[in-house]
Structure 1
Amino acid sequence: MAELVIVGGGIMGLWAGVHAVRAGMETLVLDASWPGAGASGGLLGALMPHLPERWNEKKQLQLEALASLEDEIAALEAATGLSAGYARTGRILPLAKPHHRALAEARATEAETRWRVGGRSFSWKVADRPDVEGWPSSQASAAGVVVETLAGRLSPRATIAMLCAFIERAPNAAIRRGARVVSVDGAARQVMLEGGERIGFGDLVIAAGPGAFPLIDGLVQGASAGSGRPVKGQAALLDGVEAKERLVLFQDGLYIVPHDNGTVAIGSTSEDEFVDPATTDSQLDDLLARALALAPALAGGRVVERWAGLRPRAIGREPMVGRLAEHSGVHVLAGGFKVSFGLAHLLAEAVVDDIVGRPAKRKLPASFDVGEHVRLMRQA
């Protein structure tokens, strides 16, 4: 029996564990394999904002999350003595055609108005050419580049290690590895592990990435569709490239992310259909070719790791957050897909605040509410 059981040791579950430890809760994190074994242990670590146009509550939340993450990580680095590999690097977006530049210049005005939070402001500026030749290529940036200062990056694996260290050093928390939860009994407030062991809980947070969806489906009555599905992603890590201090590059879903250890991450694919979730293939080769065309400075780099994994996409295509109406002790923190690393600390805080009865610090978008996702499950 634990006051709070968290199912899943990925980025969502571990941030929930951090907030629970801070709230003084007796906390047990259960992971089917080991923390970060899924997509949270990938390579990319890009922290990218939405475009500063057609502003809405989701974009405002992301702005607040990206702005506040820096201080959150600094506090945990100080507490653990570990680095998350975090930096607010900024981002370059190449402009290939004149009409791309016209759109970008209009967004600069929006950014000046919208990208302000907590006394800080972030910029979106259009320039004729990049500061570093070949980053990006002259062909990709024929009409100029956007340089913005809100984006950042972190090391996914280093961040997972830092969060684990914070939780496991706390006297009121533990992480149990190799503990696969196969079902949840919301009425009895118990989870069943593979092998038959049952663990009681006062409150439960389901945050197991794609593995959260079967557990949620088993708790929702009258649904005609599942709560979500896995989407495969592939990425690669390069070494031998002089890019440590460079900005993140982004074009049409392709990310090139220089890390502070001298490696460069390239990603990622989004595959709704796949045979093997853990193997890489020609789609990653194509992505690497695109990256080299976008950033000729990558020439000569060697691929030191090819990675594939599954990311969770909820039925509502937004993160799924909150208390299940049918089971008052069961909370959901799932479906982060590509935005988990940038938003997880705020979403987990909202869930833990609800559990301990603290007033919400901010209102989450209605589309994030688990009740909205349940409605979609029943109406499908």
Structure 2
Amino acid sequence: MRAAMYNGPGEIAVEEVPKPALDSPRGALIRVTHTAICGSDLWFYRGESDRETGSAVGHEPMGIVEETGTDVTSLKPGDRVFAPFVISCGRCEFCRRGLHTSCTNGGSWGGENGGGQGEYVRVPEADGTLVRVPDRYANDEETLKSILPLTDVMGTGHHAAVNAGVGEGDTCVVVGDGAVGLCGVLAARRLGAKQIVAMGHHEDRLSLAAEFGATETVAERGEAGVKRARELTGGGTDHVLECVGAASAMETAIDICRPGGTVGYVGVPHGVEEAGLDVFSLFSDNISLCGGVAPVRAYADDLLADVLDGTLDPSPIFTKTVDLDGVSEGYRAMDEREEIKVLVRIDDHSE
């Protein structure tokens, strides 16, 4: 089979690799039809985080069940499914608490399971990981495009909103205009926020944020951006969604948060330790930080129901579609901020 492989900073190549084989009674083999490139993939692409060269990449697969283990009860060959970016068993104490990212039997995509940007993936815990798409939507391309963000960015944006405590009638600020931040706007609207201020540096993305439900947008940077966000929210807000992970974004989120408020953070931390986090300001103003890596499997069923009934549509975050051979170009386009998020459509499969 073919899969996208990391061969060093700036080098993503589609190569022939062994097709993963089912090796567990709880597992399943999935023929991938759709996947995506994530903003977090850019950290290793840029050489700003460690990754083993020669490793398979990607963590947002959707496809068709080809084979299941003997103990799998919720799926059968031919089912359309999507997989959250973390593998989970669904039965351990953490999965039962909705914290699938801490699953004691879980894992990540890559290595011998095939990665998420390839023609096949092996899922060692099928019942606990995979989400089945109802048959009536299994071949509806527009619906599938709306479902695919549930593998990661929609669930991650929702995690930010939930952890920031956003509820009916609230005011909130979303820091970041990438795919996660834009999905954070959708999530805040879904949870009933009356005022949603989206902060970013790209006018086209902020325009999409407005379409998604942002009531105001802020394009200013640094202190000017903080000042503008405070003006719009009457002195700051109790609910801030940090959807970037960079030290500057976390500082902005904290500066906008009112005493007693909460920052829901989901951006993969980058440069925060080196910059130093001003813990005293959090302490003195009783500001809470709540969040972390999003257990998107915990949210997947509810979000899927909203997508299927037409009340939630994150598909506009996909601004470019490529085939498997176009994955390298997709990485480049996202790295250079030409595109928000790239969808990868995989049609042809080989052994």
Q: Structure with the greater relative contact order (CA < 8 A, sep ≥ 6): 1 or 2? A: 1
Q: Which has the larger radius of gyration?
A: 1
What's the TM-score once normalised by structure 1's chain length?
Answer: 0.22
TM-score normalised by the chain length of structure 2: 0.23
